[in-house]
Structure 1
Amino acid sequence: MRHQSIREVYKLFQLDQRARQLSPRTIEFYDWKLPQFFEWCESENVLTFTELTPTHIKTYLIYQSDNGLSDYTVRGSAMAIRAFCRFVVREDLSTVNPFDGVRMPREPERVLPAFSQSDVQKLLRAARNHRDRALVMVLLDTGMRAAEAISLVGADVNIDAGEIIIRKGKGNRGRLVYLGAKSQKQLMLYFIRRGKPEAREPVFRTEDKSKGRISRSRFFKIFKELGRRAGVTPCTPHRFRRTFAITMARNGVNIHMIAKLMGHKDITVLKRYLDITQEDLRDAHRQASPTDNLL
């Protein structure tokens, strides 16, 4: 272990993730978070796992926070580092787990508000091509996760029926989601413009000639840039998911049906999406004002 660099140990960690058949989304999460941490470690001259201490980990998390990264991002980094440290100890590569001396950052309570009708219209106007308009409408109309949209292939989409198969959602749970007429039309326009994807080709592709799959980092950047141009921030794939849930609920869809459409096992997580807003309370009072109804 003394002669193995932290990146060499990371290669063993990567093999372990694949051998355990973790979901591509989980593997991608670690492959995104951990190299950033290792790069920082190297800048601090921490080259092996045995040199890593709780102080290093705490300093890195503070460094991320001080550089303007969100509480969600910092907590995600901590989760990835904790998993890596646990692996090293579990595999008897070290007897000391440096994360044992680190307190996990608290899960943020902040919930993003749903997009307003005006927000959605601004985003569609700011979209520079048919792909980005299709992304806005499909995410808004289905509530699918970013990883689910990225992994879609041609065989998953029945454009005529307005149906999309999510073959591997979170926890490897598959489901069927649906498109309204306007989303169908926009997706069809995108296919006409770029060519309908073959069965195994990605649905949402890069804008260059390669027609390759969009990476996770690029996917999030598309929405960040779109929000900046539209003047609608923050603009994230997850905010579309929350907007889907709230809009469906406001239009009278049963919460259990919404959970099924979103790929949740039950309604526990979904309840976080459906916090009653001040606007909801105002509308409810307008409709049921005691004085307006009694006097």
Structure 2
Amino acid sequence: MPKKPEAQGEILDPGYLESWLIHLRGSRKSDQTVKSYRDGVRQFLSWCAATDTTPRLDRPTVRSFIADLLESGREPATAHSRQMSLCRLSHWLFDEGEIDEDLLRRLPAVKVDTKVVRQLSEEECKALIEACDGKGFRDRRDEAIVRILLETGMRRGELIGMTVDDIDLQEGICIIRRGKGGKGRVVSIGPRTCKAVDRYLRQRRRHRLADTAALWLGDRGRTLGYNGFYFTLQYRAKLAGIEDFWPHMLRNTAAARWLDRGGSEGGLMAMAGWSRREMLDRYTQAASERRAIAEARRLDLGDF
């Protein structure tokens, strides 16, 4: 029998994108999530225009878009993210009654390669902290940020969103009001991190924005945003001589150090703010591989 042709979706009206973004913000999705979804849909619309393709939310069109992304050298993780954006938009349009059928429902996800998780060594961690040495405002701020990230594995948005009231140095805790998925949690920080934060707070009292709620302030009269966060860590990593640095390495490193020092898997999930085991399994595998390498060297099975 001839294969039944797939149904064609309705043409995507670009105006729906803004309505969807309003819905996402109203559902308290993080700024980063909203940006990722927005970029995915915009890239799809741009691809349709460049290839003279009718922008339909159906499987043939979306598959062609994803195939072009992969063939152009984009990472599978990026293609996965773009496809997810379109699937979520299609589902929302169906729920809102704007389309008669969600043709992207249960569209097979793009297979994402399992990559080796890069962590900083103990020497690199120390070098990164030493790169913040100094008595100036930026030095004290940056050391506090680096130490918090290395100890807690806090996400970028979680750290940037902290207020002065979210940190208790007497108790040694940081309160994350709204983590991924809108979930809050409390994480512990040790004496050295508390000391670094206290040094920063004393400098912060003399800042022109000292009365604002945001914990992290810039050195040019602004609060620290995503771009400032990124360039700050890149700058310190360069001073420390760490090559191919990416800020997310600090979260990877915090998780790996927790497991390497005998921390429990449940404790790591609570600290990192994970509700599912997928990410935990990823870091557990990396820790197991390092222990296996050390054991193999001890056994020296190649010694005949």
Structure 1 counterpart of 2:221, which letter?
K
Q: Which runs of 5+ in 2 are unaligned?
A: 1-9, 133-137
Q: CA deviation at 1:177?
A: 0.9
Secondary structure in structure 1 of the residue aligned to 2:248:
helix
Q: Which among 144, 160, 171 is matched to residue 161 of structure 1?
A: 171
- Whole-Å separation in 2 of the counterparts to 1:283 and 1:40: 48
Secondary structure in structure 2 of the residue aligned to 1:261:
helix
Contact 1:54 1:100 in 2 (8 A): no
Structure 1 counterpart of 2:33, which letter?
T
**TM-score under structure 1 length normalisation:** 0.76
Match of 1:17 in 2: 24
Q: Confirm or deny that 1:26 pairs with 2:37.
A: no
**TM-score under structure 2 length normalisation:** 0.74
Query: What's the % identity of the aligned pairs?
Result: 21
Match of 1:251 in 2: 261
Q: Which among 180, 191, 194 is matched to residue 190 of structure 2?
A: 180
- Whole-Å separation in 2 of the counterparts to 1:248 and 1:65: 35
Q: Which among 260, 270, 273 is matched to residue 260 of structure 1?
A: 270
Match of 1:201 in 2: 213
| Cα-to-partner distance string for 1:195-253 (whole Å, 9 max, x where unaligned) | 48768622234443122x413x6544554565456453543343222221221222222
Q: Confirm or deny that 1:74 pairs with 2:79.
A: yes
- Whole-Å separation in 2 of the counterparts to 1:114 and 1:171: 25
Contact 1:165 1:175 in 2 (8 A): yes
Match of 1:121 in 2: 126
Secondary structure in structure 2 of the residue aligned to 1:113:
coil
Match of 2:5 in 1: none
Contact 1:154 1:198 in 2 (8 A): no
Secondary structure in structure 2 of the residue aligned to 1:274:
helix
Aligned Cα root-mean-square deviation (Å): 3.7
Match of 1:273 in 2: 283
The 1:286/1:4 distance shift into structure 2, 3 A limit, reads closer
Length, aligned pairs only: 284
Secondary structure in structure 2 of the residue aligned to 1:11:
helix
Contact 1:58 1:102 in 2 (8 A): no
Q: CA deviation at 1:15?
A: 2.5
Structure 2 counterpart of 1:257, which letter?
G
Q: CA deviation at 1:31?
A: 3.9
The 1:4/1:80 distance shift into structure 2, 3 A limit, reads closer
| Cα-to-partner distance string for 1:74-96 (whole Å, 9 max, x where unaligned) | 32222112211222233332346
- Whole-Å separation in 1 of the counterparts to 2:151 and 2:180: 19
For residues 90-239 of structure 1, the aligned pairs below 5 Å read 90-95=95-100, 99=104, 103-126=108-131, 129-195=139-205, 201-211=213-223, 213-215=224-226, 219-220=229-230, 222-224=232-234, 226-227=236-237, 230-239=240-249
The 1:105/1:285 distance shift into structure 2, 3 A limit, reads closer
- Whole-Å separation in 2 of the counterparts to 1:274 and 1:118: 22
- Whole-Å separation in 2 of the counterparts to 1:105 and 1:36: 17
Deviates more, 1:102-111 or 1:80-89: 102-111
| Cα-to-partner distance string for 1:50-79 (whole Å, 9 max, x where unaligned) | 5x6656544544554456543323322221
- Whole-Å separation in 2 of the counterparts to 1:11 and 1:41: 18
The 1:28/1:156 distance shift into structure 2, 3 A limit, reads farther
- Whole-Å separation in 1 of the counterparts to 2:46 and 2:97: 24
Structure 2 counterpart of 1:204, which letter?
W
Q: CA deviation at 1:27?
A: 3.1
Secondary structure in structure 2 of the residue aligned to 1:192:
helix
Deviates more, 1:278-287 or 1:245-254: 278-287
Structure 2 counterpart of 1:208, which letter?
R
Structure number having the greater helix percentage: 1
The 1:166/1:77 distance shift into structure 2, 3 A limit, reads same
Contact 1:154 1:199 in 2 (8 A): no
Structure 1 counterpart of 2:196, which letter?
Q
Q: CA deviation at 1:138?
A: 0.9
Q: CA deviation at 1:19?
A: 3.8
The 1:269/1:229 distance shift into structure 2, 3 A limit, reads same
| Cα-to-partner distance string for 1:123-178 (whole Å, 9 max, x where unaligned) | 33555744333322111111112221122111111134321011222233322112
- Whole-Å separation in 1 of the counterparts to 2:153 and 2:77: 20
Q: Which runs of 5+ in 1 are unaligned?
A: 291-295
